[in-house]
Amino acid sequence: MNRANAMRLALLASALVLATGCHQEEPLGVQVEPAGSLRVVTVLPRSLPLDSVARVEVAATPARGAVVTAALSSSEAPLWQGLLRSLPSGAGTSVWARVLDATGVVLAQVDVPGVELLKHHDALVVLVPRATDSEAPLTAPVIDAVVGSRASVSPGASLKLRALAHAVDASEVLTYAWSATSGTFDDATAVDAEWTAPLRRGAVNLTLAVTSARGAVSTLRFSVDVELAGGGDLVHTASLNHAPVLTELGAQPVSQSRVGIPVTLQAVGVDDDGDALTFAWTATCEGTFENAAAAATRFTPSAAPQAACDNCRLTLRASDGFGAHRERSLDLCVTNPLPPSIIDASQSETDVSAGRPVRLTAMAADPQGEPLTFAWTTNTGLLGNAVRERDSGSVDWVVLSCIPVDTPPTITLTVKNLSGLSATREFAVEWGDLLCGEFPPCAATLEDSRVTLSADCTTEQTVWIPDGYTFDGAGHVLTAVDPRGRRFRGAVLSSLGTTAHVRAVTVAARGLSELACDGGAARLRGILFEGASGSIVDSEVLDVNQKEGEGGCQEGVAIEVRNARDAETVTRVEVLRNRVARYQKAGISGTGRVELNVEDNRVDGGGPVPFIARNGIQFSDGATGRATGN
C-alpha cells in the first residue's frame, strides 16, 4: 500500500469513530414520545362466575395524552393479560379494568391511580377486579393491585413495587408481607417495597400477603422475569387467594368442662372466594371428638390435665383447598367431676305393717350443678308413685302381705349426676307384721295409686289394699292356702282404710282346713271391704270354703262389705259384674251401715247342703241398697 492509500484509510477510520462517539439518543429538537408501555395482568377472583366472563377490557389514562385501551387475552382462567403501548412516560397514569359478560354487563371492575411509566420499559400492573353486584359480606382485606416499575428486570437489578389494598372495615390497620422465591427485599413489610433480583435468569414468583387486624389474610402471587433482553413479550403468571376466616368459635358449657361430659363446639367459617372449606379439630388434652372434621361437633374429655385451668386448648383449622388455612383456639378448664351428695332424707314411718305405705323423701345437691337422677330400689315390698321436684325426690314403699324371713326391709336411694358419679342413702324400717312362709310376696307394681298383679300369686295370709288404692288383678289369680302346720285366717283380699277398689282379679282358696271355727276379723272371706267405700267389679271369687267344700263353720263369704252399725258415715260400694261360686256361707253380703249396689253379678252357691245354711245375696244389720240383674 502506498502512502496516499494509507492516509485515506486512516481518515476514514477516524471519521467512523467520530460519528459513533458523537451520536445523541434523543437529538435536540426531536420528540420521540410516547415512549412508555404497560403490561397488564388481571386476576379474576374465584367468587366470580368465570363461565360468564366473555372479555376483559383495560384502559390507561395518562396525565397527558390520549386514553389507550385494549382487550386482554386469556389462555387459562382466571388470568387475563396484555400490553398497552404508546403511552407517555412519567407519573400519573390511571388504569382501569372491566370484566364483561356476553351482553356487555360489567361483572367486575377495578381502578388504579398513580402508575408511573419509565421510558422505553414495560411497567407491570397486576389488577384484581371486584364483583359489582356481590351482596356477600367480605371478611378478608381487598387487594386492588400491585404496581411494578418494570415487568422484567436484569439479573441483580432492582424492582420497585407498590401494593394497593384496603380493609373491609376502614378503621382496621393492614399489615403487609412481601416474599419471593429468590432475590431480596429491602423492607418486606412496607407498602412500597424494593426487590433486588437474583443473579440467575428466569421467572421468579413474588407474593404479597395482606393481613387485617382480625387476622384475615389475602394473598396475591405473580411472576417477574429476570432477563437480559428486557422480556417485553413475556407471559406472566398470577393467582389470588383469600384465606378462610373463622367468624365464630364457641363452646357450651363455657366455664368448666368435666371428664366424661361432652362439650358442644360450634364454629362458622367463611371464604371470600366461595371455596368449600374443610375443618380439623385438635386438642391438647386427652379426649375424643364426635366428628373432628365438622365445624359443629362435640368433644368429651377423658382425663383432666395436671395443669391448672385453662388446661386444655381446642384448635380448629379451616382450609380452603388452595393452600390457605386459618386457625382459632379456645381454652377449656377440664376438671375431674365430684359426686353429688344427699343433704336431707326423711320417711313418714319407721315402724310399719302390711298395707300401710311409707313415704320416703330425699334432697340432693351436685357441686357442679349437673342434673341429677334419682333411683329407688328395695330388697322387699313395692316401690311406686315416685315424684321429682328440682333436686328432691320422693317415693312410696309398701308391703301388701308379708316379708321373707331373714330379710330386714331396706330401701336404697341412688342419686347420680351427669358425670356418672353417685351417692347412696339407705332407709331402714322396723317390720312389725307377718313373715312369709313357703310362698314369697305377690309380684306386683305400684303406680298412680294402683296395685297391679304381675303374675298369679299364692298367699298364706291376707293381702291388703292400701287406703285409696285400686287393686288390679290384671286377669291373674290370687289363691289362699294354709300355712304349714296352721290354718289360713281372715280375708284373702282386704281393704285397709276408707277407700278401696278391686277389679279384674280371681280370688280363690285351695285345700283350706277346718281345724277350728274363727270369728270376727279371723273369719274366712274372699274379698272384704270393712269401713271402706269403693267398688268391686269384673272379678271372680271361687272356692272360698274349708274342708273341700264340706265345712260347717259360719265363715267362707265370697264378697263381704261391712261397717259398724253406729258408724258416723255410710260406706257405699258398687258390686258389679262379678262371679262368685262354691263359697261356704254366703255369696255377697252387706252388714252394718253400708249402702250396696249389687248389679249384674252371677252367684252360684251349689244348692242346699245338710251341714250349713248358705245365702246368695244378703243384706243384714242395717245394710241397705239394691240388688238387680243378678
Residue 183, sorted as left (phi over 0), alpha (psi -120 to 50) or beta, turns out to be left
Amino acid 211 reads T
pLDDT of residue 234: 64
pTM: 0.60
Are both 309 and 218 inside the same structural domain?
A: no
Which one has a higher pLDDT value, 6 or 108?
A: 108
Are both 608 and 550 inside the same structural domain?
A: yes
Are both 181 and 109 inside the same structural domain?
A: yes
Strand partners, 252: 264
Q: How far apart are CA 504 and CA 472, in angstroms?
A: 6
Where does a domain end: 308, 335, 362?
335
Q: At residue 13, does pLDDT exceed 70?
A: no
Q: At residue 12, does pLDDT exceed 70?
A: no
pLDDT of residue 133: 81
Are both 530 and 606 inside the same structural domain?
A: yes
Cell 423492607 found at: 187
Q: How far apart are CA 440 and CA 459, in angstroms?
A: 8
Dihedral sign (CA 104, 110, 115, 121):
negative
Q: Given pLDDT bands bounded at 50, 70 and 90, which one contains residue 4?
A: very low
Q: How far apart are CA 183 and CA 163, in angstroms?
A: 18
Secondary structure element (H or E) that encloses residue 10, with its range: helix 3-21
What end-to-end distance do the CA atoms of the chain give, in Å?
Answer: 168
Are both 525 and 581 inside the same structural domain?
A: yes
pLDDT tens-digit profile of 596-630? 999 999 999 888 888 898 999 999 999 999 999 99
Where does a domain end: 303, 335, 367?
335
Q: Which CATH number does the domain housing residue 417 bear?
A: 2.60.40.10
Using CB atoms within 10 Å of the CB of residue 526, give its burial: 0 to 12 exposed, 13 to 18 middle, 19+ buried.
Answer: buried
Are both 183 and 316 inside the same structural domain?
A: no
Asked if 623 contacts 571 with a C-beta cutoff of 8 angstroms, the reply is: no
Q: Phi and psi of 4, rounded to 5°?
A: -65, -45
Are both 195 and 303 inside the same structural domain?
A: no
Dihedral sign (CA 100, 104, 106, 110):
positive
Q: How far apart are CA 480 and CA 488, in angstroms?
A: 7
Which residues fall within 8 angstroms of residue 191, CB to CB, at 6 or more apart?
162, 163, 176
pLDDT tens-digit profile of 413-439? 999 998 889 999 999 999 999 999 999
Q: Assess if residue 9 is contained within a domain.
A: no
Are both 372 and 284 inside the same structural domain?
A: no
pLDDT of residue 223: 94
Are both 70 and 125 inside the same structural domain?
A: yes
Are both 314 and 215 inside the same structural domain?
A: no
Q: Assess if residue 19 is contained within a domain.
A: no
Q: Given pLDDT bands bounded at 50, 70 and 90, which one contains residue 10?
A: very low
Where does a domain end: 242, 272, 302?
242
Q: Phi and psi of 464, rounded to 5°?
A: -100, 140
**Number of structural domains, the chain?**
4
Q: At residue 385, does pLDDT exceed 70?
A: yes
pLDDT of residue 101: 93
Which structural domain, as residue segments, surrounds residue 238?
Answer: 35-242
Q: How far apart are CA 101 and CA 234, in angstroms?
A: 27
Asked if 393 contacts 346 with a C-beta cutoff of 8 angstroms, the reply is: no
pLDDT of residue 65: 84
pLDDT tens-digit profile of 19-78? 333 333 344 344 445 678 999 999 999 888 888 999 999 999 998 888 999 999 988 888
Are both 215 and 281 inside the same structural domain?
A: no
Q: Assess if residue 395 is contained within a domain.
A: yes
Q: Assess if residue 3 is contained within a domain.
A: no
pLDDT tens-digit profile of 176-231? 999 999 999 999 999 999 999 999 999 999 999 999 998 899 999 999 999 875 54
Q: Phi and psi of 21, rounded to 5°?
A: -70, -25
Q: Assess if residue 30 is contained within a domain.
A: no
Q: Assess if residue 371 is contained within a domain.
A: yes
Q: Assess if residue 254 is contained within a domain.
A: yes
pLDDT of residue 33: 58
Are both 230 and 249 inside the same structural domain?
A: no
Q: Assess if residue 10 is contained within a domain.
A: no
